[in-house]
Amino acid sequence: MRLKSVAKYAALLCVSFTTALQAQTGPNDSRAREIYKELVEINTTDTPAGNVTKAAEATAARLKAAGFSAADIHVLGPDPRKGNLVLRWRAGASAGRRPILLLAHLDVVEARREDWSFDPFTFLENDGFFYGRGTSDDKAMAAQFVANLLRLKQEGFTPDRDLILALTADEEGGNFNGVDWLVKNHKDLIDADFAINEGGGGNMRKGKYLTNEVQASEKVFQDFHLEVTNPGGHSSLPVKNNAIYHLSAGLARLAAFEFPVQLNEVTRGYFERSASVQDDPKMAADMRAVAKAVPDPAAAARLSAAVPFYNAVMRTTCVATRLQGGHANNALPQMATANVNCRILPGVSPAAVKDKLVEVLADSQIKVSFVGQANPSKPSPLRSDVMSAVESLTKQMFPGVVVVPVMSTGATDGLYLRNAEIPTYGIDGTFGDLDDVRAHGKDERDGVKQFFEGVQFQYRLIKMLAGRP
Ligand SMILES: [Zn+2]
């Protein structure tokens, strides 16, 4: 899942046009392209035709051929078709710092030939784009990691801290054979000072490079089941005590309710930084006003009304997503149910949200229960080594682009790592068009120029974070 947080709303942002660094060409780039092509052409969907292990094995073979120690390369997992690749590149003798984990997922969302304009598992370059399932989510990142580690190895680079590469299964669903499994069963293999993951990256619109997001936090997903039961009866003899009316009146109260505005380090930084590239001065002022220690309620209300994403960033949200009731046209309903989907701010307990729902629905006949168990995910601190590396690199490669910390309103594999006390940052130098997000969709693609810029960005980032000063 690649979640572009700003999504459609960066129309509101305007910065001077930036000429991004020219795409590099050379042996490393042709290798990056070759690895990318290989990964895209291996079907890694969670279907009978898909096999993540094949992609993991193909990558393991490349790493071994490049001279990485076979003892430090593992393909492992509980499902033979969903192997995870883990490589440890050991630091020189004087390593004083803990490892960095480079994480990307190999599995992709299903893509059917009949839904696409061409075969989703044939890597295609056309009109300045690379096409194929996984080109944006998340095989570009995986290929960039592999190509850069091979290049660094070839150049004689020795990291001053261990570098761990984990290319994983089951991010897009499945049965927890990926990061979750690694954390529970082989934490020693992937434990790190911090991790770099998907979920962040560059945003552009009509060729203009706007922002480079660092994803440092995610909201928590929790469904609630609402249910009203009633003895029912003949519809020719209605009574006031009606299951559908109880539920719908409660839902109407929920519709009018808003959870309180509550910002954290990441979302405060998001509004502060976004204000600096905001075209509309009133909106910029509102962003600064909500970023204060005590957010201005009027500014928060205006931002919430203007942009759904801003609303979702500022507060926990709960929304009715399904509704069912009754069993016959001529019978009083014996049951009415609804699903309410909540996206909870990190640090807020799901139990407290349930209590709040009960209070807002304000009807003892509406029974509220959890659907599944939430996976809490605590925000990663905006540590200065990581942020300053991204800032300086962005400044060098993409002048004028503003680095913005973000909290995703959905979830990625980052949550399993964050729960395992590995701070995780979505960092990606590959820019994508805000109006053309095709991850999980038809004719998925990544810009050719942007892909190679991403290779270059990541190469320099790894050297900055794991190189000798
Ligand atoms: Zn993804």
The whole-number pLDDT of residue 95 equals: 64
Q: At CB < 8 A and 24+ separation, what contacts does 435-441 make? A: 435/8, 435/205, 435/206, 437/4, 437/7, 438/136, 439/1, 439/2, 439/109, 439/136, 439/137, 440/1, 440/109, 440/137, 440/172
Residue 462 has a pLDDT of: 97
Q: Separation of 45 CA from ligand 1 center, angstroms? A: 12
**pLDDT recorded at residue 96:** 81
Q: How far is ligand 1, taken at its centre, from the CA of residue 171, in Å?
A: 7
With tokens 């991403």, the residue in question is: 454
d(CA 469, CA 144): 23
Mean pLDDT for 3-18 is 37
Nearest one of 132, 400, 99, 447 to 277, comparing CA atoms: 400
Q: Which residues surround ligand 1, an ion (CB under 5 A)?
A: 1-2, 137-138, 198
362-387 pLDDT, tens digit each: 999 999 999 998 888 888 999 999 99
The span from the CA of 249 to the CA of 269, in Å, is: 38
Sign of the dihedral through C-alpha 459, 464, 465, 469: positive
Least confident of 118-127, 169-178, 202-211, 352-361: 169-178
Residue 469 pLDDT grade (very low, low, confident, very high; cuts 50, 70, 90): low
In this predicted structure, what is the pLDDT of residue 151? 96
Q: Which residue carries 């969907």 as its tokens?
A: 45
Interval between CA 2 and ligand 1 midpoint (Å): 4
The CA 41 to ligand 1 mean position distance, Å, reads: 17
Angle of CA points 197, 200, 201, to nearest 5° = 115
Residue 21 pLDDT greater than 50, yes or no: no
Contact present, 66 and 84 (Cβ < 8 Å): no
- Ligand 1 centre to CA of 57 (Å) is 20
The alpha carbon of 138 and the centre of ligand 1 are apart by a number of angstroms equal to 5
Q: Which residue's structure tokens are 């560059």?
A: 202
Q: Which amino acid is at 203?
A: N
Of 222, 136, 259, 200, residue with least CA distance to 6: 200
**How large is the average pLDDT for residues 435-440?**
86
Paired tokens of 343? 């996206």
Does residue 174 contact residue 71 with C-beta atoms inside 8 Å? no
Mean pLDDT computed over 245-268: 97
How far away, in angstroms, is 258 Cα from ligand 1 center? 30
* Alpha helix ranges (H) inside 94-242: 139-154, 179-185, 187-190
- Whole-angstrom distance, CA of residue 152 vs CA of residue 324: 57
Q: Which DSSP string corresponds to 244-260?
A: HHHHHHHHHHHHH--PP
Cα–Cα distance list, 94 to 153, 191, 463, 469 (Å): 18, 19, 17, 13
CA of 62 to the centre of ligand 1 (A): 23
Answer left, alpha or beta for residue 443, where phi above 0 means left and psi between -120 and 50 means alpha: left
- Encode pLDDT of 135-151 as tens digits: 999 999 999 999 999 99
> 356 C-alpha to center of ligand 1: Å?
32
